[in-house]
Structure 1
Amino acid sequence: MPAPEIHLRLTSSPPLPGFPDALLLDEKECGWLKEIIMGRPEAETTYLIPGQNHSLLIAPGGLTSTMPFGLPLRCIGPNGLYLQECRAFYPPLPENARKQAFPCTADTIQVVIDSPKTSKLSAIQFQTKHLMPVWQLWMVKGPEVIKGVSEGVAKTLKELSTKIQLPESKPLKKQLARMLPKSLAPTQKANPETLRQEALSLIHKKQFAEAARYMEQAGDMLTAARLYEQAAEEH
């Protein structure tokens, strides 16, 4: 007689020390987020990934405080697999089994939680291309920038340009590029959104120093500093 089929479920697990790695927010909680986090230090280092009916609040290196709402999550891997806090798989799943059951690519994150309506577990997928700094929730459009010069100034500049021979800029740039080491030579900057996505993928692989460099290029200096600290702790 064949053994009865065992369905994968979540069971209780002891709490881990420290703050959670992420929070799962429903639509109502996501609306509260702006009022809670605006003006707090976490606004500089926290990111949001909007999804269908839920959003993921995440901070490279882990959250640095708690919120009065949201479902706490822990990153258990491999890659971007997150599990509800104080939960464990039953039967236990080794890493290769988790990889097969909940595949996560460099562009996706999966969150596994207890289903609120059934006794079964529920998996929610997020796309890292939607990653955004949390401060974008309240970012306002800046004032219109006045460009150009007045007609009188333009005429004066035109007259001066006929009298003064300025050096060619291209040869100077080429000379500067030859003098600088390749690592310091000017490079074309990638889009900040793309850099943050790459950094998040590296964080899930525990490559914190490499992720910090991407965050630096994206202009997120505080996040980069936290990642450098975490890289030092790992060694």
Structure 2
Amino acid sequence: MTEISFDIIGFDLDGTLLDTSMELAASLNHALDSAGRPQVDEQSIRSLVGMGARHMLEMALEQSGGSDKDLVKSLMPVLIDHYEANLGQNAPAFAGLVEAMDALQDQGIKLAVVTNKFESLAVKLLTTVGMIDRFVTVIGGDTMGKGRSKPKRDPIDEMIRRCGGMVDQTPAAFIGDSIFDIKAAQNAGIANVAVSFGFLYQPVEELGADAIIDHYDELVPTLVKLGS
């Protein structure tokens, strides 16, 4: 195998590492049902996730009769409690991911997760599915403080520091499925790859990523090319 020149590879979580759409749909529907709102199907949920649980809930409410701050505030604990109680029960890894991570780790590359999900939930999810030990660090949307999550560069910079690298010097790349992921990587000045199988708000070609993959079988050769 041709050697990859990146020392650190970061991943988004929902829609990038794991297909969490079924779990998110179940918890969102639980909250909507408690408010007497119609439920969303699994396909529709894919267009709502990626920008955090609150945004997902707000959008679902808007589409089913309207939303307001008080309603969102009352339903958020209902959604989060259900989600946390069922975390990792139905969140499969995308095809080829495990093999791709094995190949990266065989080269001594450090892996990390940077997500806009709450850090505690991200850690619990990765622990439940048996992946937590693969990652040097897990950075959540609340880790850096208010207003410092993706698409800001702050969590990407922190990822590099926690992996023992130097910001703006250590070669790193980030893999994601949303404009927040790609913009965060671009703002931090690192290489980026978009996955076409994630929770996309727009055509993957419009994200402006350095490269696009349709399957994790393509990740290693893509990183080789990006690093050359």
TM-score normalised over the length of structure 2: 0.30
TM-score normalised over the length of structure 1: 0.29
Greater strand content: 1
**Higher CA-based Rg:** 1
Q: With CA pairs under 8 Å and 6+ residues apart, which has the higher RCO, 1 or 2? A: 2
